Amino acid sequence: MSIKQISVFIENKPGVLYAMTGVLAQGGVDMRSFTLAETSDFGIARIIVDDVYKASTTLKDAGYVHSISDVLGVAVPDEPGGLSKVLQALTDAQVNVEYMYVFQGHKNTGSAYTIFKVADNAAAAAALSQRGIKVIDQAEIEKL
Amino acid sequence: MERYYQPEIECASREQIKAWQDERLVKQVRHVWDNVPYYRKKMEEKGLTPDDIQSSDDLHKLPFVTKADLREAYPYGLVAKPLKECVRIQSTSGTTGKRVVAFYTQHDIDLWEDCCARAIMAAGGTDEDVCQVSYGYGLFTGGPGLNGGSHKVGCLTIPTSSGNTERQIMFIKDLSATILCCTPSYAAYIGETMKEMGLTPDQIPLKAGIFGAEAWSEEMRQDIQNTLGIKAYDIYGLTELSGPGVSFECSAQTGMHINEDHFIAEIIDPDTGEVLPEGSKGELVFTSITKEAFPLLRYRTRDICMLTREKCSCGRTHVKMCKPMGRSDDMLIIRGVNVFPSQIETVLLNHGYPANYQIIVDRVKNTDTLDVQVEMTPEMFTDNMGEIAKRQKELVDGLRSMLGLAAKVTLVAPKSIVRSEGKAVRVIDKRKI
């Protein structure tokens, strides 16, 4: 139970983000989420998209180095303590979170979506499901 | 016991060598003035006539000749003898541009082969040896040069040329070759193939190797010596000057004796052209004082080198040059340290990066900065920032230990380093000094 995240290598200088989003727009890729990790000279853009294959081929054709990794998508109730509950479940299961980010679905579902990068997706998903926390899959991402 | 091909020359007194050089240089300058309009024009531009050159002490007055001159004068512009007196041409590989074509009279071939014979005897060769020449034969000078030298020594010569490695090994074994002449990288490959064939060094009769035509390190020498069970000797030369044998190593293996009765060597500052004192590191410049057909005066080799006249244990008196340390046309001086792009390339390749890189040198607050830009590849990329940073640091550490200098490594987008149709632009020096 995981979703696909595309990580793109980009340089840290003016115009490169614009150029990359332009490429995705040209390719007709709809982004669900976009986040950026950076150092002083390069960065990794991590994106969740409606169509992984289309996004990947579009980026490849434009010469971008990128990789696809499996991450965990979790629907978090959009209310105080929502995220905390999720993290408690992961902590109890001794799952280390490498990084995470939150995005809001554009349909009003009453949930925020959290993407977790963890070592073992299956173990983390099981720990969350046990507590009644909804883990989403790629099909759901496409529908969002 | 040390053996010499021409002991009276190779072990002559310094005074004698100087006397030969004085006499031959004066004669050579007159020869080119009379026969090569290109030289005459270059000398006239400096206000010189042959009378200004009275001895080798006046050598520094003469203009330099560069590879660009050879290209401009291609093909006959520097030939100093009528073509009907020339008997051979040899040519460079042309890797850095147009081929250079060098001409030889029979006299030139004789002297060249003498030089190669000296190298073979310095490696212990005698007329009882079997010498396998696995350098390429043809336009390349390696094969013809060592072949001629081997004949002069009286070795039984096996002209295998390069390639077909198993056959090379079969000849070495079946015909008991004792001396191998080839490029160091081919020697290493022959050694590797022998190993694969299950042969140990004591099963093959080789005792010495004469390896040149490309740069090789002391580490590589040790490696070749161990795998082949031989002593490996370096030999240096340029097609422009004759070919291999301009200088060669003796039993001391601490530098190559330059055949000073044929070539005068100078070390110059590559930027100012000023002649540097003995022991200085600089660009190696040669003047051929005995060649008839294709004499070069003060030819800039672009090789960075040092000379020493310290007494050599082998008994030879001719000056020794070290292994060339790089090329002056691409040497950078960063914070006082000499840096060659080739060193940086070695580190990159060793760390699994591609050879797509650019070196940016700048000066910030009076301090030189070195930034090595490397293109990210799909193989090297990962979503894990820490992993990328770790590899980057390994590269920085690798560069520091190779260069003795702190460098910054910047990872750049694929294909962002400009490709050119000719030679790649590896260095951008933004310093305004």
pLDDT at B294: 98
Share of chain A above pLDDT 70, in %: 97
Is A96 at the interface with chain B, CB within 8 A? no
Q: Is B382 on the interface with A (CB under 8 A)?
A: yes
Nearest-CA neighbor of A71 among A143, A138, A144, A139?
A138
A64 CB within 8 Å of a chain B CB: yes
Which residues, 6 or more positions from A43, have their beta carbon under 8 angstroms from its beta carbon?
A: A9, A10, A11, A12, A36, A37
pTM higher than the cut 0.90: no
Q: Tell me: cis bond preceding B201? Omega within 30 of 0 counts.
A: no
User: Is B412 within 8 Å of A11 when comparing Cβ atoms?
Assistant: yes
Residue A40 pLDDT > 80: yes
From the list A64, A67, A117, which residue is nearest B382 (CB)?
A: A67
* Residue A107: per-residue pLDDT: 64
Residues of A within 8 A of B412 (CB-CB) are: 11, 42
How do beta strands B427-429 and B357-364 pair?
parallel
A25: helix, coil or strand? helix
Per-residue tokens: A96: 């280390």
Give the start-to-end residue ranges of the domains of chain B: 7-329, 333-429
* Record: contact A65-B376, CB cut-off 8 A: yes
Torsion of CA B307, B309, B310, B316, to 10 degrees: 110
What is the predicted pLDDT for the residue at B422? Answer: 47
For the cut 80, the answer to whether the pLDDT of residue B19 exceeds it is: yes
Predicted local distance difference test score (pLDDT) of residue B409: 95
C-alpha angle with apex B111: B40 to B80, nearest 5 degrees? 20
Q: Which of residues 357-376 of B touch A (CB under 8 A)?
A: 376
Which residues of chain A neighbour B395 with C-beta distances below 8 Å? none
Name the residue with higher pLDDT: B367 or B18. B18
Question: In angstroms, rounded to a whole number, what is the distance separating the alpha carbons of residues A3 and A71?
Answer: 5
Q: Which residues of B touch A5 (CB under 8 A)?
A: 383
CA B64 vs CA B91, B293, B419: distances in Å: 21, 18, 32
- Distance between CA atoms of B427 and A102, rounded to whole angstroms? 44
Q: How far apart are CA B418 and CA B140, in angstroms?
A: 33
Best probe of the B interface among A12, A18, A35, A41, by most B CBs < 10 A, is A41
Hey, are the CB atoms on A67 and B381 less than 8 Å from each other?
yes
**pLDDT tens by residue, B217-253:** 777 788 899 999 999 999 999 999 999 999 999 999 9
Beta-carbon separation of A69 and B413 below 8 A? no
Of A5, A16, A44, Cβ closest to residue B385: A44
Report how far residue B193's alpha carbon sits from residue B165's, in angstroms, rounded to the nearest whole number. 7
Contact A67 B383 (CB under 8 A): yes
Which of A2, A3, A42, A46 would you mutate first to test chain B, the one with the most B CBs within 10 A? A42
Distance from CA of B403 to the nearest CA of A (A): 23
Residues in chain A: 144
Out of 3.40.50.720, 3.60.15.10, 3.30.300.30, 3.10.50.40, the CATH code matching B333-429 is: 3.30.300.30
β-strand A42-49 against A3-11: which pairing, if any?
antiparallel
- What separation in angstroms does the CA of B236 have from each of B86, B221, B242, B301, B319? 24, 15, 11, 12, 14
pLDDT in the model for residue B97: 53
Terminal CA-to-CA distance of chain B, rounded, Å? 54
Closest CA of chain A from B302, distance in Å? 36
Q: Mean pLDDT throughout B297-324?
A: 94
Nearest CB to A65; choose among B377, B389, B410: B377
* pLDDT average, residue stretch B368-386: 90
CATH architecture of the region B7-329: 3-Layer(aba) Sandwich (3.40)
Q: Is A44's CB within 8 Å of B383's CB?
A: yes
pLDDT at B142 over 60: yes
Name the band, by pLDDT with cuts 50, 70 and 90, for residue B431.
Answer: confident
Q: State chain B's mean pLDDT as an integer.
A: 91
**Is the minimum CB–CB distance between B1 and chain A shorter than 8 Å?**
no
Q: Which residues pair with B276 in a beta bridge?
A: none
Task: Write a three-state SS string for chain B.
Answer: CCCCCCHHHHCCCHHHHHHHHHHHHHHHHHHHHHHCHHHHHHHHHCCCCHHHCCCHHHHHHCCCECHHHHHHCCCCCCCCCCHHHEEEEEECCCCCCCCCEEEEEHHHHHHHHHHHHHHHHHCCCCCCCEEEECCCCCCCCHHHHHHHHHHHHCCEEECCCCCCHHHHHHHHHHCCCCEEEECHHHHHHHHHHHHHCCCCHHHCCCCEEEEECCCCCHHHHHHHHHHHCCEEEEEEEECCCCEEEEEEECCCCCCEEECCCCEEEEEECCCCCCECCCCCCEEEEEEECCCCCCCCCCEEEEEEECEECCCCCCCCCCCEECCCCEEHHHCEEECCEEECHHHHHHHHHHCCCCCCEEEEEEEECCEEEEEEEEECCCCCCCCCHHHHHHHHHHHHHHHHHHHCCCCEEEEECCCCCCCCCCCCCCEEECCCC
Say what percent of chain A tops pLDDT 90. 68
Most confident of B15-19, B93-97, B133-137: B15-19
CA distance B382 to chain A (A): 7
Name, in order, each residue with C-beta under 8 angstroms of B57's C-beta and a sequence gap of 6 or more.
Answer: B22
Given this model, what pLDDT does residue B332 score?
80
What are the tens digits of pLDDT across the range B263-298?
A: 999 999 988 999 999 999 999 999 999 999 999 999
Residues of chain B in contact with residue A42, where contact means CB-CB under 8 angstroms, are 376, 388, 410-412
d(CA B101, CA B74): 7
Please tell me which residue of chain B has the smallest CA distance to A5.
B383
Mean per-residue pLDDT for A19-28?
A: 95
pLDDT tens column, B65-122: 998 899 889 999 999 999 999 999 999 765 445 678 999 999 999 999 999 999 999 9
Residue from B383, B384, B416 to probe the interface with A (highest A Cβ count within 10 Å)? B383
- Per-residue pLDDT, averaged over B306-319, amounts to 96
Range scoring the smallest mean pLDDT among B125-129, B283-287, B413-417:
B413-417
For the stretch A85-138, pLDDT in tens is: 999 999 999 999 999 998 877 666 677 889 999 989 999 999 999 999 989 888
Is residue B429 predicted with pLDDT exceeding 90? no
**Residue B408 clears pLDDT 80, i.e. is over it:** yes
Sign of CA dihedral A37, A80, A95, A52: negative
Shortest alpha-carbon distance between residue A45 and chain B (Å): 9
Residues of A in contact with B376 (CB under 8 A): 9, 42, 65
**pLDDT score for A67:** 95
Contact (CB<8Å) B383/A63: no
Q: Chain A neighbours among B 142-181 (CB < 8 Å)?
A: none
B389 touches chain A (CB under 8 A): yes
Mean pLDDT in residue range B34-59: 97
Buried b (16+ CB within 10 A) or exposed e, B373-407: bbbbeeebbebbbeebeebbeebeebbeebbebeb
Among A56, A41, A50, which residue's Cα sits nearest to residue A11? A41
Structure tokens, A88: 């408690």
Across the range A57-75, mean pLDDT stands at 94
pLDDT tens, residue by residue, B178-231 = 999 998 878 988 988 898 899 999 999 999 999 988 767 777 788 899 999 999
Domains annotated on chain A, with CATH: 3-69 (3.30.2130.10), 71-143 (3.30.2130.10)
CB distance A64–B412 less than 8 Å? no
Residue B344 has pLDDT above 70, yes or no: yes
